[in-house]
A and B are shown apart, each in its own frame.
Chain A
Amino acid sequence: MKVAWKQHLTGYAFIGPFVIGFLCFTLIPVIASLYLSFTDYDLFTTPSWVGMEHYKEMFTSDSKYATSLKVTLIYVFGGVPLRLAFALMVAMLLNRASKAIGLYRTLYYLPSIIGGSVAVSIMWRNLFGDEGVVNLFLDTLGIGAVRWFAEPLAALWMLIFLSVWQFGSSMLIFLAGLKNIPSSLYEAAGVDGANGFQKFFKITIPMLTPVILFNTIMQTISAFMTFVPAYIISKGEGGPLDGTLLYSLYLFRQAFVYFDMGYASAMAWVMLIIVGIITAILFRSSRMWVHYESKGGN
């Protein structure tokens, strides 16, 4: 018995930092956040119990919240599919044997590395300015300049473009997935007379579905939490007309601009539930569309 105890203790000596960190920085805060969501709390006075008040307010009388949720859903469900489609397209372009591939891969990935920085958000803000390069380009095409900072939907698309621009990490994961598809499958299909489109939809896509699922889940969660670009590009306000008031930014403003910690906590819990539901749906639905090698297939 003594030996066994020592074994358990050794194990906890190693993972101890994680356990302590989890309790202090995750579990207790998550529970505290649930409690605070039922209170009014401004950091300085003691929290006072208000029950479901904040949740009620969110879904009935706070029109800013409704806008923020709508904007975030457009951002997530507009941005993530575009980003993944782009990532897959470029990954397929780069999936061949050539000495230049390493260089291309590096160049296409670079935006992902710098994308989360304040510097890039500042750059994006200026590219889309009234006299910025994007408008110059649109003018040349004859489409005419767009007032990116005056139209709420245009401003939101500016953020979506910034997120699509950072397709690099999904692209790398797709590339790894593409390399794992046995070339014998394509050869067999070629012998059977399949054309490029058939090969893409009958081999590439099904074989990639596990990677697509993984990418979709990770990208959706991180898209929901996007903060820096909205904060910098709208200078912390979420404007114009709340067009870039992403969920995290509105939550941040409730907590640290209006000092409504209770409301912010309630918002955080609703976000947790929404993200949880979306993840669960993706996992559940994956049985219908994700192709796993072990289940046979062809």
Chain B
Amino acid sequence: MRSKPVRLVMYHILAAGGALLMLYPVLWLVMSSFKPSTLIFSTAESLIPSPWIWENYVQGWQGIGGYTFSTFISNSLIIVVLSTIGVVLSSALIAFGFARLQFWGKSFWFIIMLITLMLPHDVVLVPQYILFAKLGWLNSFLPIIIPNFFGAPFFIFLMVQFIRTLPHELDEAATIDGCGKFRLFYRIILPLIAPALATSAIFSFYWRWEDLIGPVLYLNKPEMYPVSMALKMFLDNDTLSNWGAMFAMSVVTLVPVIAVFFAFQKYIVEGISTSGLK
């Protein structure tokens, strides 16, 4: 099947044009963040800012309620880093148990895990809130971070699939050498499933960085807000029509997400294609 050059050019025009159309909203957001607030809508049709200004970033970074974006970003980082470490390590431990050990009730728990995977989160929203309120965890990062230390079904499933592809001879050789199950897990299996760990870590980063409902429920002091809540505060104040600052800070919160995406897209694409993660 040899494509004619004309058809090939047409194909690339179509594919690239479609991609440009898809990304136009993001481009518009980024370019608008360099325009003066008063010109964002009056010159909405033009992508190129004139004049180019940086003030939106300076002003936006000042934040709202007396706290700057430095505070919001470090809050987000604390939540993201601790949650991600917790969820990746616990999920790996659990996945190893499901994939490599024989014990009573294993298939029962595996089915339970698959059901949990499909359970609408809304069903546990209210009771979890009551639970965390009773524990005195409101207004702290604990309700957002701690549940991650008990594994996440999506990641467990992804890692189980991955571990199952590793040859069983590894386990047998290690056992003959007198290696216990835990040593087998962290000395041999863990390094081998690094790609699955990376995929999980990346998705955990996205989910926690973008998470809004956790912070809306559990955090009510601006000094504890992550970036998602900081943006919501901008929006609540947008009668001030300071769109420039809001757009600029929206761009700031998207930069890490897009950077991680371009740096690690290999893991992301593989992760989705094999497990259906979003």
Binding site for B on A (CB under 8 A): 7-15, 17-22, 24-26, 28-30, 32-33, 36, 43, 90, 93-94, 100, 104-114, 116-120, 122-127, 129, 131-133, 136, 165, 169, 172-173, 175-176, 214-215, 217-218, 221-222, 224-225, 227-228, 231-232, 235, 247-248, 251-252, 255-256, 261, 264-265, 267-269, 271-272, 275, 279
Q: What residues on B are CB-neighbors of A94 within 8 Å?
A: 15
Of the candidate stretches B61-69, B97-105, B170-178, the one touching chain A is: B97-105
Q: How far is the CB of A108 from chain B (nearest CB, A)?
A: 6
Chain B residues with CB under 8 Å of chain A are 12, 14-16, 18-19, 22-26, 28-29, 32, 40-42, 44-45, 90, 93-94, 96-98, 101-104, 106, 109, 112-113, 116, 118-131, 133, 147, 149-151, 156, 181, 185, 206-207, 209-210, 212-213, 216-217, 227-228, 231-232, 234-236, 243, 246-247, 250-251, 253-254, 257-258, 261-262, 265, 268-269, 272-274, 276-278
Most buried by A among B119, B277, B278: B278
Whether the pair B124, A26 counts as a contact (CB closer than 8 A) is yes
Point out the residues of chain A lying under 8 angstroms from B98, CB to CB.
Answer: 15
The listed residue (B102, B150, B231, B235) touching A21 by CB distance below 8 A is B150
Assess A122 versus B116: contact at CB under 8 Å? Given A7-B103, A33-B123. no
Contacts of B113 in A (CB 8 A): 18, 22
Q: Whole-angstrom distance between the alpha carbons of A122 and B238 in the complex? A: 11
> Smallest distance from the beta carbon of A43 to chain B beta carbons, Å?
7
- Bound-complex Cα distance A165 to B18 (A): 12
Across the interface, do B93 and A17 meet the contact criterion of CB distance under 8 Å?
A: yes
Mostly, the A contact residues are helix
A105, B15: Cα distance in complex, Å: 10
> Would B97 and A15 count as touching, CB distance under 8 A?
yes
Give the nearest-CB partner of B203 in chain A.
A113
Residue among B118, B212, B217, B273 making CB contact with A221, cutoff 8 Å: B118
User: Taking the nearest CB of chain A, how far is it from the CB of B4, in angstroms?
Assistant: 14
In the complex, the answer to whether B277 meets A169 with C-beta atoms within 8 Å is yes
Secondary structure of the B contact surface, majority rule = helix
Q: Top 4 nearest A-B pairs by Cβ distance?
A: A21-B150, A11-B103, A14-B97, A29-B127
How far is B250's CA from A11's CA once the two chains are assembled, in angstroms? 45
From B124, which residue of chain A is reached at the shortest CB distance? A29
Q: How far is the CB of B138 from chain A (nearest CB, A)?
A: 11
Query: What are 16 A-to-B residue pairs whose CB atoms are below 8 Å?
Result: A26-B124, A29-B123, A29-B127, A29-B131, A30-B127, A33-B124, A104-B16, A110-B22, A113-B261, A118-B231, A119-B29, A123-B250, A172-B272, A261-B130, A271-B120, A271-B122
Q: Is the CB of A19 within 8 A of B101?
A: no
In contact, B235 and A114 (Cβ under 8 angstroms): no
Other-chain contact of B125, A22, A100, A116, A251 (Cβ < 8 Å): A251
Known: A9-B103, A21-B149. 15 other contacts (CB 8 A): A29-B131, A30-B124, A90-B18, A105-B269, A107-B22, A110-B22, A117-B209, A118-B228, A118-B253, A123-B250, A169-B278, A228-B210, A252-B125, A268-B126, A272-B119
Decide: B94 and A127 in contact? CB cutoff 8 A: no
Most buried by A among B42, B121, B130, B234: B130
Instruction: For the complex formed, measure the closest distance between the CB of A119 and the CB atoms of chain B, giving whole angstroms.
Output: 4
Distance, CA A264 to CA B113, complexed state (A): 25
Residue numbers in A under 8 Å from B133 (CB-CB): 43
- Chain B residues whose C-beta falls within 8 Å of the C-beta of A235 in the assembled complex: 235-236
A15 to chain B, nearest CB (A): 4
